[in-house]
Amino acid sequence: MFAGLANTSVQAGNPLNAEESDPKRLDWMTGFPPPPEKLIMQPESDFFSFPKLRWTVCHIRELMPTKLVSRGIGPSVPLEYEIDDGIDAVTFKPMGGGKPMTWKESLSANYTDGILIIHKGRVVYEKFFGCLDEMGKHAAMSMTKSITGLLAEILVVEGRLDDTVKVSSIIPELKDSAFGSATVRQVMDMTTALDYSEDYSDPKADIWVYSKAASPLPKPRGYEGPNGYFEYLQTVKQDGVHGEAFGYRTINTDALGWIISRVTGKDLAHLLSERIWSRMGTEQDGYMTVDAKGTPFAGGGLSAGLRDLGRLGLLMLNCGKINGQRLFPKEVMENIRAGGDKKAFAKAGYKTLKGGSYRSMWWLFHNNHGAFAARGVHGQTIYVDPTAEMVIVRFASFPTAKNAQIDPTSLPAYQAVAKYLMKE
């Protein structure tokens, strides 16, 4: 979720289906100028409420300031294609029962904006819907966290970041906050004990105070709260004992972004470009939203092209190698794929992710294929299946934020496609 959206709603009652809510069909922002009823604006419009969000996810930089994640000036490295038309007919059973569903049906059910499947290094499936086309970029949401975690893990393996030290030893400004007494690894694996609620359905949750602080817009008259991600982090108090339980809280990633920037002397957008984006053969620049002080949003601010996130998935699948080049040591992926503390993760009570864990801001399923993923609200996914040599990237704009509503018709679908491809 994007910090800075305190006055928006991600909930919807009896929403339009994917076809009915298609932003092209609803004519959002069409005309010169668009008529008032078709405008999506900042800050007057609730631009992240459904169905407006189906337009917004492809147009973030028209609403908020951003920083470039440069692909550099060299040529891109084309992906190889071998389209398999049989994937649409792959059938699976949703979690919890219900009628069998085809892969094609699941795309509409989950409000898919873009879907890419790579198998054995070749694109076997690619489709665009809604606001997205091959030239567009889409909000990655909390998949940004996994990229931030990847950068941190690279620094750990390279010996530039000690994940056993207290955060306060790197960021003295956080000494009196909950983060100060946590280790870097506890931040990376989100086992910090924070007095912080990220329940988007609760208008009094801490997420909305955080969002006001993170907003890049001028603060309203009389505002006396923190300004920016880093100032907010200094106000967070501890609740419990660090290391005992997994708790998914975006502010962990913002703290990690601060740690990474302090260690490297570079902001996250610059470092991502330098270490990953400009070296993958990407087709397009990415961009990251920023707060009022220009700090990139480490917890959810990236927007990028579908194929370029496919390249990132290939990089993870191939343990740091892409296009014949090694971008980071294989030990990085060994550490991530080893997974986190399953007992700590189980305390979070995820019904669709039983037996899973969380490590370096990647979700580990611990299924028989060793699959792992980057995940973001409203259905964003980079799903990596090492056994099937498969990467799936999905951009979506599901009406409600929580992936628990999407997983029952997504995770079984991914597994069914993996089995289908392995038989080829």
* 230 within some domain: yes
- Is 12 a member of any domain? no
Q: Which of 82, 335, 380, 300 is nearest to 185 (CA)?
A: 335
pLDDT confidence of 201, banded at 50, 70, 90?
A: confident
Residue 6: pLDDT band with limits 50, 70, 90: very low
Q: Can you give the residue range of the structural domain that contains 212?
A: 112-422
CATH number, domain of 411, equals: 3.40.710.10
Number of alpha carbons in the 13 Å side-chain half-sphere of residue 22: 11
d(CA 108, CA 96): 19
Reported as a single tens digit per residue, the pLDDT across 34-92 is 999 999 997 767 899 999 999 999 999 999 999 999 999 999 999 999 999 999 999 99
Q: Is residue 46 part of a domain?
A: no
Asked if residue 100 belongs to a domain, the reply is no
- Provide the Cα torsion 148, 363, 409, 388; round to 10°: 100
Q: How far apart are CA 409 and CA 101, in angstroms?
A: 8
Of 267, 186, 188, 200, nearest to 230 by C-alpha is 267
pLDDT at 203: 85
As given in the structure block, the two tokens for residue 151 are: 């950068």
Distance CA 7, CA 104 (A): 35
Distances (CA, A) of 355 to 119, 138, 341, 345, 363: 26, 30, 10, 8, 11
Could you tell me whether strands 362-364 and 372-376 are parallel, antiparallel, or unpaired per DSSP bridges? antiparallel
In a domain, 52, yes or no: no
User: pLDDT band for position 3 (50/70/90)?
Assistant: low
Annotate 259-287 with b (16+ C-beta within 10 A) or e (fewer).
Answer: bbbebbeebbbbbbbbbbbbbbbbbbbbb
Per the domain annotation, does 382 fall within a domain? yes
* DSSP secondary structure letter of residue 328: S
**What is the count of structural domains for the chain?**
1
> Could you tell me the two tokens for 104?
């094609």
Residue 142 has pLDDT above 70, yes or no: yes
SS3 187: helix
With respect to residue 289, please indicate whether it lies within any of the assigned structural domains.
yes
Longest dimension (CA), the chain: 64
Residue 310 has pLDDT above 60, yes or no: yes
Say whether the peptide bond before residue 65 is cis (omega within 30 degrees of 0). no
Please report, for residues 179, 201, 228, the alpha-carbon distance to residue 251 in angstroms, rounded to integers and kept in the order given: 10, 18, 12
* Residue 138 is assigned to a structural domain of this protein: yes
Q: pTM for the whole thing?
A: 0.96
- Decide if pLDDT at 121 tops 80: yes
